[in-house]
Structure 1
């Protein structure tokens, strides 16, 4: 495994792990890398100082070592806000999956009890809901079942 510091064209910097240098190159060529902050797809390796171990086992770097970054927790205020939003959504809303359009329309027409719901809709279903005056909005988070 190899850890690279990456940078997008908007200047956001983040770290990611790859199986090998070749794995990074293959993903990059296929356009499968994106910025963890803005989602931009123009991602490149940032300049990094190599770590060289002394005989005593201590690492020596060209620059002072930065504090380790937790890859499991939010790295930015935006990521923390999205995590809080996900938690609130899961606690106060019912996930209806691919039945979202039908459920939203039923609630809007008074055929189903009023409650907060979230789910997935095809673009044409979402457009039809909006055209019919059903109040819907896209969410900036993935459904719980599709999160890593």
Structure 2
């Protein structure tokens, strides 16, 4: 696996993982790599600093440590606040999820599993689940996705 910092023609920067450098090249050439922010298919690798592990001698303490090589920091701007466009997209997503789904709170894992097994009627739901419960659902083939926002807790 390899992680690249990518940028689109509109200047958005984001990270993504690929199986290999060749896999990235094939996917990009086929137009399957798109900007995570605006969806632009004109994406290229951005300049980034390599991650280099120290040699075995430096880690184990055996022999002379390998001399350190000064790293050159890539010109990576500090993380910017989410754009207005992205904030509006998240608001719209939240509004759509809340309008078209039932909030089941902390019973999400139980309810999703029951629907998957045919023990409860199928419907769109959202709620909260512990990480272990979410992993179990995925391993059991229950189709779930994390939301990019925290659900508003319903109160009396």
TM-score, normalised by the number of residues in structure 2: 0.47
TM-score of the aligned structures, taking structure 1 as reference length: 0.49
